[in-house]
Amino acid sequence: MVRKTMKLKIEAPEDSSVLTKERFLAFMQASSDIIFLMSPDWMTMTKLYGKGIIADTEEPDMKWQGKYIPPSNWLFFNSMINDCIREKKALHLEHRVLRSNGSTGWADTKVVPLLDAKGRIKEWIGASIDITARKQIEEALQKSEAALRGKDREKNKYISMLSHEFRNPLAVIAATISLLQMSDNKDETAKLTDTLKRQSDQLCKLVDNLLDLTHINEDLLLLKKDDILLNDLAVNTASDLRKKFDVKGIHFIMDIDNKPLLLHADPVRITQIIGNLLHNAIKFTPKDGTVLLSLKQEEDEAVLRIKDNGMGIRRDLLPTLFTPFTQADNSLDRQNNDGLGLGLSIVKRIVTMHGGTVAAESEGLHKGSLFTIRLPLIIRDDAPADNSTAEPAPKTFNILVIEDNKDLAEIFCSFLNKLGHKVWGAHEGRSGVKIAREIRPDIIFCDIGLPGMNGYEVASTIKADVSLKKTLLVSFSGYTDEASLQRARESGFARHIAKPVRMDVLRQFLDECI
């Protein structure tokens, strides 16, 4: 068998340089990148296809830099180019670029030199990709990271502050209990008991503020609005605090408009914000200082002002004064501060929920301060009619308390007994359900975290018992997040009281049940 050999002859094109240019132009048009050509010294851009991202260059252009590069980048850009020309090396950098739509974007650019047989630069060929979107994402991530770091610093500051504020009253309480155990003097015992009450009140105030802020942030704070006379509310709130002004030697002046100022508002929350601002005035005003509480009508608003000539507020703090955990006195000695810096934040949120505004003014340290609250009025010809009737006779209830903390349960039951109610106690869920079926109480106060059968299970069991359908179920627990409260409602609890349980809140709740 004879094999025939076939010879192929490949002929070069007549003008290979033309073919090369045609191929290069085709490549420039086909590529999704921005392709450009530069002269050896980078003085002239000979060609650029901008792909609609930046403007095209069809003819040699010596002013290309002003066309594509922001002036603020020229010095850096030229420095990079000179290094590459001197060392005949490729250039790779990310830089700002002027886009065809008039905006400034970002490009990732790579440029390589074409050398002749003698190693001289004949031309530069470059390609750029638009990385504007990526840079925007990176910038957003950097801002987000910075914000998270800021939040983390705030959290650490808050935890440190919280630890400090709780440690102080707890240390006093622990020391006071030790003294009580050693004392047999009635006067000393009474004094120590007063100390315990003050410090426990401070702890309750700290927890209440934390709970209020949490409820406000999660839209869980419910306002129980009614038509109220702000005049009476302001006078009563101030009167309750007058003794504190007298003890500290502060001159307290009230200037209350005689004209009835009617609001549709939650009286408890309005009392809270007035009391909060007056407490601050007492705290930051020295002996022989003056505090003025004024209440006037201005157009369709009630305007309440509390002015003092005390410590004042640094001007740099004013813009963030109503931000949580901001304190006017954040020095190490903190002689005038015994809180978490939540009070003013809560004031602002409550005022806002009532459709009002609050503002703070101060000329600086030791120049006093002025707080102004504006609340919308109900405009009527006459003040609301007095529909009050004779106070009803106190009603007593059969109450079951289910609480696994025996000390708390004992104190809780003793207080209810002193109010005239008949009280039973249980320390775990199953025995609580058994007692409930035996006595059929009017009200059950039930903890959530119980051994064996938890509070949710207790509530579900009670609600399923027809004989207990008239029993009011009230949860009292430190679980105050929305998921826990929703689960409590679904289990059958009609009301919730947050721990630590304040006896004045408990008394008010029982009065409302009458």
Helix (H, G, I), strand (E, B) or coil at 510: helix
Q: What is the DSSP letter of 69?
A: S
The more confidently predicted of residues 510 and 221 is 510
Q: HEC profile for 344-373?
A: HHHHHHHHHHCCCEEEEECCCCCCCEEEEE
pTM exceeds 0.75 for this model: no
Mean pLDDT of the chain: 81
> Residue 279 and residue 502: Cα distance in Å, rounded?
19
- Average confidence (pLDDT) over 401-428: 87
Contact (Cβ atoms closer than 8 angstroms) between residue 253 and residue 292: yes
- Average confidence (pLDDT) over 237-264: 89
Listing DSSP states for 441-485 in one string gives -SEEEE-SS-SSS-HHHHHHHHHH-GGGTTPEEEEEES--SHHHH
- Average confidence (pLDDT) over 101-110: 92
What is the pLDDT at residue 223?
77
DSSP count for the chain of H helices, then E strands: 13, 17
The more confidently predicted of residues 400 and 213 is 400
What is the pLDDT at residue 456?
93
pLDDT tens digits for range 345-369? 888 888 998 999 999 999 988 899 9
What is the pLDDT at residue 442?
93
User: pLDDT band at 7, cuts 50/70/90?
Assistant: very low
pLDDT tens digits for range 475-506? 988 776 777 888 899 999 999 887 777 777 78
pLDDT tens digits for range 214-230? 655 556 567 788 898 99
What is the pLDDT at residue 210?
65
Pairing mode, if any, of strands 443-446 and 34-38? unpaired
Q: Which residue shows structure tokens 């007058």? A: 242
pLDDT tens digits for range 17-33? 444 667 777 777 777 78
The more confidently predicted of residues 162 and 306 is 306
> Residue 321 and residue 352: Cα distance in Å, rounded?
15
The region of weakest confidence among 127-131, 255-259, 300-304 is: 255-259
Contact (Cβ atoms closer than 8 angstroms) between residue 476 and residue 432: no
What is the pLDDT at residue 359?
93
Which percentage of the chain shows pLDDT scores above 90? 35
pLDDT tens digits for range 145-201? 888 887 777 666 666 556 655 665 666 677 677 777 777 777 777 777 777 776 776
User: pLDDT band at 9, cuts 50/70/90?
Assistant: very low
Q: Which two tokens stand for residue 246?
A: 């007298």
Which percentage of the chain shows pLDDT scores above 70? 80
Is the pLDDT score of 311 beyond 80? yes
Q: Which residues contact 331 (CB under 8 A, 6 or more apart)?
A: none
Contact (Cβ atoms closer than 8 angstroms) between residue 202 and residue 337: no
Give the Cβ contact number of residue 34 at 10 Å.
23
- Average confidence (pLDDT) over 458-474: 92
pLDDT tens digits for range 48-59? 888 888 888 888
Closest Cα partner for 87 from 116, 64, 108, 113?
113
Q: What is the DSSP letter of 393?
A: P
User: pLDDT band at 250, cuts 50/70/90?
Assistant: very high
